[in-house]
Amino acid sequence: MLNVVIFGAPGSGKGTQSDLIIKEFGLDHISTGDVLRAEMKEGTELGKIADDYIVKGQLVPDELIIDMLAKVLDGKEGSKGVVFDGFPRTILQAEALKKMLNERGTDVTLMINLHVEEDELMNRLLERGKISGRSDDNIDTIKSRLDVYRLQIAPLAEYYMKEGKRYAVNGVGTIEEIFERIKEIINRYL
């Protein structure tokens, strides 16, 4: 399987680039943020708990996310590979993902680390907020999401660096330009 972790701050383009990757390479897409938003919309127990964290821009607790991810992954059996978007966000999640994939005879193939400066992220997220309808695309929540990224999530890049799987990609440019950079890296693994 070709398993790609797409990693970067909120607003760095993970969702946009994930869509292009899955189309180009015939992979499945798992976005934990999308799964949580669907749970919230359905008003499930998990959705209600997640809502409290998401509106504050904080991370949903690891055990909830890991259980949720395991269930979603079970539904992807027979897949050519998966793009993990917004997961993992902590070392514990990364270790859990490795274990889950190893049990299925596979592993994370590579990690794409999109890099965009904070000013640009703020502009992009405020623009997105005008149309996304997301409860967390407002200035206060964006600020805390960027703090959470810098302090809690960004250090995870080191984990994949040590595994020799991390590729830093400049996330500024047109969508097509950025996708070309990513494609060039993924093609090395085919």
Nearer to ligand AMP, 25 or 53 (CB): 53
CB 105, min distance to ligand AMP, A: 23
Pick 87 or 167: Cβ nearer ligand AMP: 87
Is 27 in contact with 80 (CB distance < 8 Å)?
yes
74 vs 180 by CB, closer to ligand AMP: 74
Q: Measured from the CB of residue 188, what is the shortest distance to ligand AMP in angstroms? A: 26
Q: Where do contacts with ligand AMP occur on this chain (CB under 6 A)?
A: 10, 32-33, 36, 53-54, 57-60, 65, 86-87, 89, 93, 136, 145
State the residue for tokens 């070392």.
91
Position of minimal CB gap to ligand AMP: 33
Tell me the two tokens of residue 114: 């999109």
Return d(Cα 72, Cα 68) in angstroms, integer: 6
Counted residue by residue, the chain has a size of 190
Please give the Cα distance from 92 to 108 (Å, whole number).
15
Smallest gap from residue 163 Cβ to ligand AMP (A): 18
Q: Describe the crossing of helices 62-74 and 32-42 by its angle, rounded to 10 degrees.
A: 100
30 token code pair: 């798992």
Which residues does the annotation mark as catalytic?
Answer: 14, 89, 128, 134, 145
